[in-house]
Amino acid sequence: MSSLFDRLELISEHGCHGGVQRFYQHASGEIGLPMRFALFLPPQALAGQAVPLLSFLAGLTCSEETATMKAGAQRLAAQLGLALLMPDTSPRNTGVDSEDHHWDFGAGAGFYLDATQPPWSGHWCMESYLLKELLPAVVAEFRLDGARLGITGHSMGGHGALTLALRHPGVFRSVSALAPICAPTQCPWGHKAFTGYLGQDESTWVEHDASRLMAAQQTAPYPGGILIDQGLADQFLAEQLHPEAFEAACAQVGQPLTLRRHPGYDHGYYFISSFIDDHLRHHAQALTC
C-alpha cells in the first residue's frame, strides 16, 4: 500500500454502470490537510485489468462531487474501460479567511498551481498535490496503468488540464478541455488568482498560462491532437476564457487542435454533459491503443 493511502478513508461507494463510483478522503502531505477525491472504476478494473486513467479537473466553486454527479461520464467510461479521477479543486478548512485577503472566489479556487505568496503558500499546493502525490498513489493503490494517463477539465479545471499537460511533458498521453480559461494573464479571474497566489511579478504568471506555454513550445507537444469545446452562449466567453489565444498559439507551433464552437450552449453542466462523450472517446483513442 502506498504511504499516501495509509489512512485512506472510503466515504461512500455506489454501483454504477457495471463498475463502482467511490468517494475517498485522505491525509495529504503536500497540502498538509485532509483532501477528498472521487474515483470511478469501470468493470474492467474490477476484473483485474490495469486500465487507463482520465483525470477531470473541475472549475471555480466546485468540488470532487460536481463533475462526478453532473457530467454523466461513467456510462461511456465503463464501456471504454476508462477509470475516472475527480479530485477536489482546492484545500478546505484551512483557517485562512479569504475575505481578509480580498479574495472573493471562496472555497474551490485552487487554480491547479503551487502558491508562493502568504497566506496561500501554506496549503495551496494543488500542482504538487496532483502530480507528485495523488496521481502516483491512485495508480499504485488501484493498480491502474500509469503509462496511460489523460487529463481534461472545465473552466478553471480546463486551465488546469492544459497547463499541467504542458508543464509536465510525458506524464499525460492525452489532453482536452471544456470552456477552459485559456489565457489567464489576460482575464480578470486570472489576474485576481495570480496576484494572490503568485504575487505582483507578472513574469511568474506566464508559466501558468496555457496560451503562453503553448506558444513557447518548439514542436507540437500532443501530435495526436487536443480537443476543446466552447459554448457560444457562455456568459464568460468574451471576458474570461479567450480560446482564440490558445488557438493562435497552437497554429504558431503546429499543434493539432480541434476547437469546436457551439451556438446556444452556456458555461454549465448541460453543456458539459452534451459533449463529455466526445472527450471520453478522444482520450480512449489515445489511451487504449
**Catalytic: which of 155, 174, 176, 211?**
155
Active site residue 6: no
**Residue of 41, 26, 110, 112 lying closest to 77 (CA atoms):** 41
* Coil, strand or helix at 210: helix
- The pairing of beta strand 34-41 with beta strand 19-27: antiparallel
The widest CA-to-CA distance across the chain, in whole angstroms, is 51
What length does the chain have? 289
CB 39 within 8 A of CB 73: no
Q: Is the dihedral of CA 287, 2, 165, 178 positive or negative?
A: positive
Active site residue 234: yes
**Residue of 148, 179, 147, 152 lying closest to 163 (CA atoms):** 152
Exposure class string for 150-162: b at 16+ Cβ within 10 A, else e: bbbbbbbbbbbbb
**Catalytic: which of 90, 209, 234, 282?**
234
**Catalytic: which of 123, 154, 208, 267?**
267
Cell of 147: 503509462
Helix (H) or strand (E) holding 26: strand 19-27
* Distance separating alpha carbons of residues 289 and 276, to the nearest angstrom: 20
H-state helical runs in 199-268: 210-215, 243-253
- Name every residue whose Cβ is closer than 8 Å to that of residue 233 and which is 6 or more positions away in sequence: 263, 264, 265, 266
Active site residue 155: yes
* Distance separating alpha carbons of residues 156 and 158, to the nearest angstrom: 5
Catalytically active residues are: 155, 234, 267
